Structure 1
């Protein structure tokens, strides 16, 4: 009986060793696995990618110029009556919390309402929230391409008050993107700033 227990114990140890090897050397090639709150369907490489937009100064920029440091990207619009200002303010708070801990993360606000969100409008909006927050707009086609790259949703709603008064339905995720790794994780709008900062710090330390 003792021999059977010894064999069983040896088998368990071998199994655990194999699992640890797979995680650290073999199948576990995701260096950010311990930082993720949930699995990403299809893998993180299914989200993010190239885009060309217009910044607050009116200059044309690409994702390489925008994501030159860790970036927290959000798609919204400045005329949003409630959700976008709260989400953007939360992301600004995250950036400040990380700055206090010695990390630098750029909050990025990409409009889904290019008809009204001019570079000047975005500058007023982002400057109020955080000195390093970047606002991006562009043509309808450029916005659509960026949105599709990040798998976001938006749809302009009909207005009864005239063309200048309308709402835009949209998704509300924030996307953590790193210069070398690209998109690594997303955050839901109900996640507190402190929890986001803690998880982002994990990604930055792992990188």
Structure 2
């Protein structure tokens, strides 16, 4: 009987320890997110936009923004995302008048301002962003974007990259993402909340 009681005590002690560890991990995750989100995008990068301006962290202040990292030679994710952005603007109508959308290239070696302007120009809403490799790399690091150059047969290459659209409020603070090919209904709901914040 004494052995059974000891076993029960040990088991209850293990349960208590596991509960404390689980609570600690949960609090660390929840409390850690605002700190990480607050620093997202911070950096001293200075890029150029296809409308003749400059793009830096402060460019995202004063209006809600949708920010996407891609490249013009992208076979699927980037053209699909651009089309979705156009559809979001159409669905939001006048509510999207303050919303700014940016397409930041991860391949500045091929994506000059002129090429990028042609690529996004048909949308009439999305602003292309490019710059030197060094400045683009600063922005990629600041936004914690995954980018990897993938060599193809024949000497060409493609770019593997994060496919989500970053959402920033009027203060330029990160508010979440829209995933690649997320339903339009969900995306519009997120954008409406973003615009209303």
| Residue pair 2:63, 2:171 contacting (<8 A) in 1 also | no
2:144 is the alignment partner of 1:172: no
TM superposition score normalised by structure 1: 0.71
**Within the alignment, does 1:138 sit opposite 2:127 as a pair?**
no
Partner Cα distance (1:113, 1:58) in 2: 19
Residue segments in structure 1 that go unaligned for 5+ positions in a row:
1-38
Alpha-carbon contact 1:75-1:109 (below 8 Å) kept: yes
Alpha-carbon contact 2:50-2:129 (below 8 Å) kept = yes
Q: Secondary structure at the match of 2:152?
A: coil
Length-normalised TM-score, structure 2: 0.74
More helix by share: 2
Q: Which runs of 5+ in 2 are unaligned?
A: 1-29
User: Aligned equivalents of 1:181 and 1:117: distance in 2?
Assistant: 26
Question: CA contact under 8 A between 2:62 and 2:172: conserved in structure 1?
Answer: no
CA distance in 2 between counterparts of 1:99 and 1:118 reads 31
The answer as to 2:190 corresponding to 1:199 is: yes
Provide the aligned C-alpha RMSD in A: 2.2
Residues 65 and 102 (structure 1), Cα distance of their counterparts in 2 relative to 1, 3 Å cut = closer
In the alignment, which residue of structure 1 is the partner of 2:110? 116
Would you say the 8 A contact 1:119–1:137 is kept in 2?
yes
Is 1:92–1:107's contact at 8 Å kept on the other side of the alignment?
no
Aligned residue pair count: 165
